[in-house]
Each structure stands twice: as structure tokens, then as C-alpha cells.
Structure 1
Amino acid sequence: MTTALLVAALLMGFFGSPHCLGMCGGLVTAFGLSMKDVSPAKRRALVMTYHLGRLTSYAFLGLIAGLIGITVLEPLMKGNSTPRILLGLVLVFVGMTMLGAPFLNKLERFGMRFWQYLSPLRQKVFPLNTFPRALTAGLLWGFLPCGLVYGALLIAVVAHNPLSGAALMFVFGLGTVPMLVATHETVGWLRDKIGRFRLRQLNGSVMVLSGLAVVFVPIAMSSMHGGHSGGHTQMDHSSHSAMVSDADTAPSHDMSQMSHNITPEMDHSMHDMDDSPASMHHSQ
């Protein structure tokens, strides 16, 4: 897994955190009310504890996603460009989701059924006045249905590595922490800045463009390299043919020259041999 994927996951979590606040705001409020009787220092420690539990759940889900990738997808992707193309398509899909496409709404509704199933267990962790309760609450919180989380899990699947999937989801969770632990005033400021500059949409656009680049840039480069190699091959073939032609012609030319030089000398020698008997007869 490259650093670029980790950065993408971190930014996805941070710029998508206003959506997280909408989904998790009620839960955060309930957690806060349950800690009203503890000291401020312990309260801060409890908040960090349940966020640690949430990130642990994300990492666990990322581990499962990576296992799915390595067991189901890996055998189908050996020796070809499928991993790269699949990663690019997932980035495009997640980027469009951040731009507002309702691709994961049905999956969120399905996850809500599981969340309701956990309701009796969730009730037992209140009030969050001890660290084990806070940690358990955070672990359960990680299973709250969220389209943004599901999008990050898709990236973890195509990473087809369990440890990489866990790291990616943990980093994604880190990106959501600032919005969820900020004070009311800071939350308002963050939401205003992210909304005013359309940072979520900007990040979604970057992810779409990155996905398209992952898919198509290597194809274009391969095509260009193939044409360039083809030109070299044709030139090499032409040069080879020319060399062979020269090699075939050179001996013929040399033999012709030798024949031209030898023939007059042989004719002259033969003429001398013909004249020799006559000379000998005359002398006798």
C-alpha cells in the first residue's frame, strides 16, 4: 500500500467529517450527557477512550476487508492489470459518493438493521463513567452504518492486504476525530470552512481524477511505449536487412573483380604457352 492511499483515506475522513457529525451527532451528545458527573480531566480521557474504541473497530473492519481482498480477489488478479484497474474504479466510485451520488444509501439502510440489533448492548454501556464502558461504547460505535465508512472499506478491500486494510481504516478514523471532539464553537468554524470552500466536493473530485489516472495513464503510456518500440523494431529490421544485403553483395563484387583481374593474365599465359612450341621448332 502506498502513502498516497493513506493520505487519501485521511483526507476522506477529515473532509467527510461534517457528514459524520450529522450521523454521529446524536450519539456524541448522548455520550456527553452520560459523563456530566465526572471531572473535566476524566471526561477528556473518557472521550479519547471511546474514540480509541471506534478506531479499533474501524481497524478490525479494515482487517476483514483486507482478508476478503486477499482471499477472494487476489487469485483473480495475478499476472494482470486487474488490481490497478479495480483500485482506480473504486477511487472513482468513492469520489462520486463524496460528491453526493447516493450509491451507498441502500447499504446504509441494511447496516441500520444491524445497528438496531445492537441496541440492547448499547444501553448497557451507559453512563460512560468508567474506561471499560467508554471503550465498549467506542467499539460498538464503529459499527454505526455510514456510507463514508463503507466507501473507505471498499478501498481497504482492493488493497488486498489485511494489515494495509487495517492501517487504512485506522487512518480514515483519525481524519474524523477533530470534528467529533471539537467544542461547539470549533465545530461551527470547521463546518463553515469545509462547506464554504466545498472541500468535501474538492476532495471527491481529486479522488475521481486520481482513479481515472490510475486506470488510464498506464494504458496510454503502454500504448505510446509500444509504438515507440515498434518503430525501433522496424528500424532494426531494416538495418539488419541492409547489412545482410551488403554482406551478400560484397563477396560477389570481389569475385567479379578477381575474375576480371585473373582472366587477362590467364589469357596472356595461355598465349605464351601456344607460342613456345613454335619457337622451339624454329630454333631446331
Structure 2
Amino acid sequence: MTTALLVAALLMGFFGSPHCLGMCGGLVAAFGLSMKDVSPAKRRGLIATYHLGRLLSYASLGLVAGLIGTTVLAPVMVGNNIPRILLGLVLVFVGMTMLGAPFLTKLERLGMRFWQALAPLRKKVFPLTTFPRALTAGLLWGFLPCGLVYGALLIAVVGHDPLTGAVLMFAFGLGTVPMLVATHGTVNWLRNQIGRLRLRQMNGAIMMLSGLAVIIVPIAMTSLHGGHSGHGGDMQMDHSSHSAMMSEDDTSTSHDMSQMNHEMNNMPVDHSMHNMGDNNDAAAEQAK
């Protein structure tokens, strides 16, 4: 798991939290009303507990999503570029969702049916006056249908392993916490700032560009590297050819020198000077 992917999940949760506030605002209000008779200190503890339950619920969903990714998708994701391409496509898809594309509305409707099926169990946790009830309420809250959550789960599916999926979903949930625990005035300020600066749209655009980069950049680098390798091969061939030519010239030169030495050694020796010396000795003997 890369740090960039972890940061992407965290920012996805933070900049998408105004959407979460719209989906979860009623539930948070109901939790608050059920804790009106507890002390402020215990109230803060209960709030932290049900948010912890929600994050654990997200992490468990991420664990399952990562397990699906490593089992169902594993046969087609070994020894090829499919994992990287699939991750890039998911980032583009999630980015478009954050920009407002209604890709996951049908999935939200399907999730609403499951949420309604949990109604009898949800009623049993009220009022939230004990920590076990608050934890259970948070665990159930994690199954509230939300397109943003489903988008984060898609990232967990294409993660490297189930643990990665769990960590990514926990980080995503952590990003939503500030908006959901802020006071009413702070919530309004955060929502206004995110809306005024279009931070959610900016984050969606960044995720789309990141997904495209994940797909395109390695392909471009591979092509560029392949071109350099071919050029380097030609240079190496030229160098080898030059070396071979030099070697042949040296061999030819050595052969010529050896032949010249051999011919010089086999040349007949001129004995005229030696004969001249012998004639002079004979003339001296006659003079005596």
C-alpha cells in the first residue's frame, strides 16, 4: 500500500463528509437526543465510542472487500498490468462520483433495503446510555447506505491484500470524523468553506488525474525506456563492429610482420666479403 493511496482515502472521507453529514445528520441528532440525560464527560466518551464502532465497521467492510479482491480477481491480476490499470480506473470512477456523477445511486437503494432490515436491531441500542450500546450503534451505523462509502470500498477491492483494504477504509472513516463531531456552528463553517472553495470537486478532479496517471505514466515510461534500450543496443553493436574491425586489422598486421621476419631469416647470405678475405690470404702466401 502506498502512502499516496492512504492519503487519497483520508481526503476522500474529509472532503466528502458534507455528503456524509446529509446522510447521517438525522442519525447523529437521534444519538444526541438519546444521550441528553448523561453527564458531559460521559457524553463525550459515548460519542467517541460510537465513532470508533463506525470506523471498525468500515474496516471490517474493507477487510471483506480486500479479501474479494485477492480471491476473485487474483487469477487475472498476476503477472500483468491489470492491478495497476484497475486501480487507475477505480480512482477515475470515484473522482467522477465526487464530481457529482450518479453512478452509485442504484447501489445506495439496494443498501437501503439492508438498512431497513436492521431496524429492529437498531431500536434496541437506544437510548445510548452505556458504552456497549454506543459501540453497537456505531457498528450498525457503518452499514448505512452511502455512495461515498461504496466508492471507498472499490479502492479497497483493488488493494494489495485484505489488511490494506481494512486500513484504507479506516482512514476513509477517520476523514469523516471532524465533520460529524463538530458543533453546529463549526459544521456550518466547514460546510461553507468546502462548498465555497469547491474542495470536494477539487479532490474529485485530483483523484481522476491520479487515476489517469496511474494508467498512462508507466506505459509511457516503458515505451520511452524501450526506445533508449534499442538505441543503446545499436551503439553497442557499432562499438562491437568497430572493435572487431580493429581486431582484424591488428591480426592482419601481425601476420604481415611475422611473414616479413620469416622471409628475412630465410634469405641467402651473401658470402662475397668472406671470399674476398680468403683471396687476400692466398696472395700474401705467394709473396713470401
Normalising by structure 2, we get a TM-score of 0.88
Between the aligned partners of 2:59 and 2:49, the Cα distance in structure 1 is: 15
Between the aligned partners of 1:167 and 1:197, the Cα distance in structure 2 is: 29
What letter corresponds to residue 116 of structure 2 in structure 1?
Q
What letter corresponds to residue 54 of structure 2 in structure 1?
R
Query: Could you give the per-residue CA deviations for residues 44-83 of structure 1, whole angstroms, max 9, x where no partner exists?
Result: 2111111111111001001101111121223322222222
Deviates more, 1:193-202 or 1:234-243: 234-243
Residue correspondence of structure 1 range 26-175 to structure 2 within 5 A: 26-175=26-175
Q: Aligned-pair distance for 1:264?
A: 7.8
Tell me if structure 2 keeps the 8 A contact 1:67–1:160. Answer: no
* Residue aligning to 2:199: 199
- SS of equivalent residue, structure 1 residue 215: helix
Between the aligned partners of 2:255 and 2:53, the Cα distance in structure 1 is: 92
Normalising by structure 1, we get a TM-score of 0.90
* Residue aligning to 2:186: 186
Tell me if structure 2 keeps the 8 A contact 1:68–1:160. Answer: no
Q: 5+ unaligned residues in a row in structure 1: which ranges?
A: 277-284
What letter corresponds to residue 209 of structure 2 in structure 1?
L
Tell me if structure 2 keeps the 8 A contact 1:57–1:142. Answer: yes
Between the aligned partners of 2:77 and 2:233, the Cα distance in structure 1 is: 31
Deviates more, 1:136-145 or 1:40-49: 40-49
What letter corresponds to residue 84 of structure 1 in structure 2?
R
Between the aligned partners of 1:59 and 1:255, the Cα distance in structure 2 is: 80
CA separation of 1:264/1:152 partners in 2, compared to 1, >3 Å: closer, same or farther?
A: same
Tell me if structure 2 keeps the 8 A contact 1:58–1:166. Answer: yes
Residue correspondence of structure 1 range 204-283 to structure 2 within 5 A: 204-256=204-256, 258-259=258-259, 269=268
CA separation of 1:188/1:250 partners in 2, compared to 1, >3 Å: closer, same or farther?
A: same
* Residue aligning to 1:4: 4
Between the aligned partners of 1:241 and 1:208, the Cα distance in structure 2 is: 50
Deviates more, 1:170-179 or 1:241-250: 241-250
Q: Percent identity?
A: 72
Deviates more, 1:54-63 or 1:211-220: 211-220
Query: Could you give the per-residue CA deviations for residues 182-235 of structure 1, whole angstroms, max 9, x where no partner exists?
Result: 111110000000000000011111111111111111111111111111111111
What letter corresponds to residue 24 of structure 1 in structure 2?
C
Q: Aligned-pair distance for 1:270?
A: 9.2
Between the aligned partners of 2:10 and 2:208, the Cα distance in structure 1 is: 16
Deviates more, 1:238-247 or 1:183-192: 238-247
Q: Aligned-pair distance for 1:178?
A: 0.8
* Residue aligning to 1:281: none
Deviates more, 1:255-264 or 1:240-249: 255-264
- SS of equivalent residue, structure 1 residue 269: coil
What count of residue pairs does the alignment treat as equivalent?
A: 275
What letter corresponds to residue 8 of structure 1 in structure 2?
A
Tell me if structure 2 keeps the 8 A contact 1:59–1:169. Answer: yes
Tell me if structure 2 keeps the 8 A contact 1:18–1:191. Answer: yes
* Residue aligning to 2:284: none
Between the aligned partners of 1:45 and 1:242, the Cα distance in structure 2 is: 80
Between the aligned partners of 2:178 and 2:251, the Cα distance in structure 1 is: 84
* Residue aligning to 1:280: none
What letter corresponds to residue 81 of structure 1 in structure 2?
N
Larger Rg: 2
Tell me if structure 2 keeps the 8 A contact 1:73–1:160. Answer: no
- SS of equivalent residue, structure 2 residue 72: helix
Q: Aligned-pair distance for 1:263?
A: 5.5
RMSD of aligned Cα (Å): 2.2
Between the aligned partners of 1:242 and 1:144, the Cα distance in structure 2 is: 73
